[in-house]
Structure 1
Amino acid sequence: MSIRKKLSSQFYFLQWMWNTRTLRKGFPKYRVLSLDETIIKIITEKTSISRFGDGEFRLTLPDYALVFQDGGEEVRKRLKEVLKSEEKSHLVCLPFGHFNDFDLPTKYWWYKFLNVYGNKISPFIPVQKTYGTTFISRFYIGFSDKSEKRIKKIVSLLKKIWENQDVLIIEGQFSRLGVGNNLFDNAKSLQRIICPPKNAFSNYNEIFEATKKYGKDKLILLALGPTATIMSYDLAKEGLWALDVGHIDIEYMWFLMKANDKMPVIGRHVNEANEQESLEIPKEFKEKYLKSIVLEIKEQ
């Protein structure tokens, strides 16, 4: 029997949780805001955010790399620095604290992550702070409640962040946030800087300087993996409003597609999908997308 079929049984899951409890012993309970609370804080305080997921945490450890981002000492050092941020205009977001909202496979995945990595990463995460939730940009596919009512409420709240804002998107070559959907239709204006699809951290200084140049007096949305996690923090220190939004567009597309699992999306690279649709942008959206690009940064 596959693990997914086994996890359809609440009894199996609870039994597994009991049998593995000692592996999570000692992992702290962090104060993590709910999804709504995190969004409201961003809106009311114009707070910048850096999100930590499993990939970012793995990169804080030696000898680890992601498919789209190599590791290394500099990446490790900077990610640990962000975790300890005391910048008042900046909020670190963690994936812990609200596991009960997830479906069983997602709960299993994150508890298994804690079994393996929890005690390795906890020394880097201060206990005394209050954190936002990483799932501000992953609000659909892993949750037990995928109802239209819930998602529309979240999306409506998210849209208030960039309502009537001049927006600058910093994204990988095949991310294409907002292309073919209405997620950012209420923004005052939208421009984008296109970055390398892999190892964007190698171009960090060039991307950072370009973002400061084009992002003055704008809301900056970054979808650039661990590079975005670090850069949102650095931009906040410069007095800019920057949000590491990651998969927010993919999650919205999955909702519109009524997906029940991670699946390919036409015109996007979806690194978590088992298959890949065409990366060609549908013709009806291409001209608007190309006009929004103010700069393209090539891989070094």
Structure 2
Amino acid sequence: MADNELSNRLFKVLGSNDAPNFMIGVPYPLKYFKDLRNGRFFWPEYTSRHIKQLRKYINPKKIYLNTQVTRFYFERADKSLCEEHFQKLKNLWNDKDIVVVEGTMTRSGVGNDLYDNAKSVRRILGYSENAFYHYDEMLDTIVKNVSKEQLILLCYGMTATVLAYDLAKLGYWAMDIGHLDIEYEWMKMGATDRALIKGKHVNELKEVGGSDVGSCEDPVYQNQIIADITK
């Protein structure tokens, strides 16, 4: 089963030490959860329940990144630094040629200025659900269409973690930016609860229409697509 294979790959990536140019993150609330608007009760309970399992995979001597870095708005109790946080993230692709790898319903940066400071934007589209079933095809498509001088931004669910690892081993620069676009949309809205975004897949609201996005005929978006493995 692809789900079991993905789970096994994620565990291996978490404990990997064979790619010196690769860094992986863990949820920062495992360490510090006081600044969370939500989850202040979830994370202490989760950690206490799963501490034995976590110790099997998390090396206390290893430096981990913070997976919440791209979830910079909604979960934060103190939102005073959200705009500054966002701008620092955006500077990562300033004047760079970027390739966004995403699901067909993700449309990261469409309708906002998320990538306006990039030198160029290209896109490779994959499946919005069950992406890992088509993992080899996506990895092969990236390798065939992207140069090692370009920055790859992965908006591709849990599959993005494994892609970032395999691409790093091949000498590519890839970053899993997760829900950054949706968080940015919520920040611009001043949202106090998770909200639907017109034309964009919001996985956390799938049961209330988060997957009902329709087609995207935006000419800029369409012209940026260099490959679509769903076709």
- TM-score normalised over the length of structure 2: 0.91
Query: How far apart are residue 219 of structure 1 and its match?
Result: 0.4
Which digits, 9 at most, give the CA deviation of each residue in 1:68-105, with x for residues without a partner?
Answer: xx621x222211111112222111101032312212x2
Which residue in the other structure is 2:214 paired with?
280
Using the TM superposition, give the Cα deviation of residue 296 of structure 1 relative to its aligned residue in structure 2, in angstroms: 0.7
Structure 1: gaps of 5 or more residues: 1-64
2:153 to 185, 209, 221: 221
Corresponding residue for residue 108 of structure 1: 41
In structure 1, which of residues 129, 132, 138 is the aligned counterpart of residue 71 of structure 2? Answer: 138
Partner in structure 1 of residue 55 of structure 2: 122
Secondary structure of the residue aligned to 1:180 is coil
Deviations 1:201-260 (A, max 9, x none): 111111001112222111001111111011101100111100011101000000011101
Q: Aligned pair 1:168/2:99, yes or no?
A: yes
Rg larger in 1 or in 2? 1
Specify which of 175, 178, 184 is matched with residue 115 of structure 2: 184
Cα distance in structure 1, aligned partners of 2:182 and 2:199: 11
Counterpart CA distance in 1 for 2:115 and 2:136 is: 27
**What is the aligned counterpart of 2:162 among 205, 218, 230?**
230
Shift of 1:282: 7.0
Residue identity over aligned pairs, in percent, reads: 36
2:79 match: secondary structure: coil
Gaps spanning 5+ residues in structure 2: where? none
Give the Cα–Cα distance (whole angstroms) in 2 for the partners of residues 139 and 130 of structure 1: 20
Give, in whole Å, the separation in 2 of the partners of 1:275 and 1:77.
Answer: 31
Distance (Å, rounded) in 2 between the aligned partners of 1:121 and 1:199: 26
Q: Which residue of 2 is the match for residue 90 of structure 1?
A: 22
- Cα deviation, 1:128-168, whole Å, max 9, x if unaligned, reads 10111001110000011123xx1221111111100011000
2:72 aligned counterpart, secondary structure: coil
Provide Cα deviations, 1:35-78, integer angstroms capped at 9, x if missing partner. Answer: xxxxxxxxxxxxxxxxxxxxxxxxxxxxxx9xxxx621x22221
Paired AA for residue 128 in structure 1: K
Change (3 A) 1:188 1:263: same
Structure 2: distance between partners of 1:119 and 1:138: 27
- What is the number of residues matched between the two proteins? 225
Amino acid paired to 1:192: R
